[in-house]
Homo-oligomer: A and B are copies of this chain.
Amino acid sequence: MTKRDRNQTEQRILDAVGKIVVAEGFEAVGVNAVANVSGVSKVLIYRYFGSIEQLLAKYLEDNDFWLNTEFPVMQYDNVKDFSKAIFRAYIDMLRKSPALRKLYRWEFTTNNPAIEKLRERREQTALKIINAVSQQSGFSLDRVGGISTLITASVSYLYILSENCGVYCSLEINNDSGWDKLLETIDFMFDKIFD
């Protein structure tokens, strides 16, 4: 290219990964694809990152999914509002990040050290929140964990699916109206749970 600059080249490669992930998902990140999109010879991918696996690990590290995500840390007077806020934040995170949706999809078909690391961090964050809610509410860890699992899994599923499918179980998941209804449903549930 114009100038010799390893850092810039590495960044170009990483940027290409990001583009591919957002557009087609992690499944489509291959040496040739990255080389083409970045405009960099694929030899350099191996030279600078070792392998596609390691390149993706670096990408995940850089983009820091779930690692530094700051959730509302119990700045609410009551557990009910706190619970509602947590899942509102979770929904917002997935809404704003196509890469995160692609990451969750990728998890269904792939297992590797980078993914497992992310899962561990996610579990840690979840446990922290579950513990806090359990203590404040008096509900058992299993109870709070069950409810959390139910809602987060659901939201994740619907966001992943929404990229390919407009309606699920009568809910329009490809526009805001459906998500408003879902949010309202979650609020309703918490109203009933914390009566």
A binding-site residues for B, Cβ under 8 Å: 25, 27, 105, 107-111, 119, 123, 126-127, 130, 141-143, 145-158, 160-161, 163-165, 167-171, 181-182, 184-186, 188-189, 192-193, 195
Smallest distance from the beta carbon of A107 to chain B beta carbons, Å?
7
A169 interface neighbour in B152, B163, B165, B185, Cβ under 8 Å: B152
Task: Give the residue of B150, B164, B192, B193 whose beta carbon is less than 8 angstroms from that of A108.
Answer: B164
Give the interface SS of chain A, mostly helix, strand, loop or mixed.
Answer: helix
If A123-B167, A143-B188, A192-B195 touch, whether A182 touches B105 (CB-CB below 8 Å) is no
CB distance from A116 to the nearest CB of B (A): 9
Shortest 6 CB-CB contacts between residues of A and residues of B: A146-B185, A157-B157, A154-B154, A145-B170, A153-B157, A149-B169
Inter-chain pairs besides A127-B170, A150-B189, A192-B192, 5 sampled, C-beta below 8 Å: A108-B160, A123-B170, A145-B170, A150-B185, A156-B157
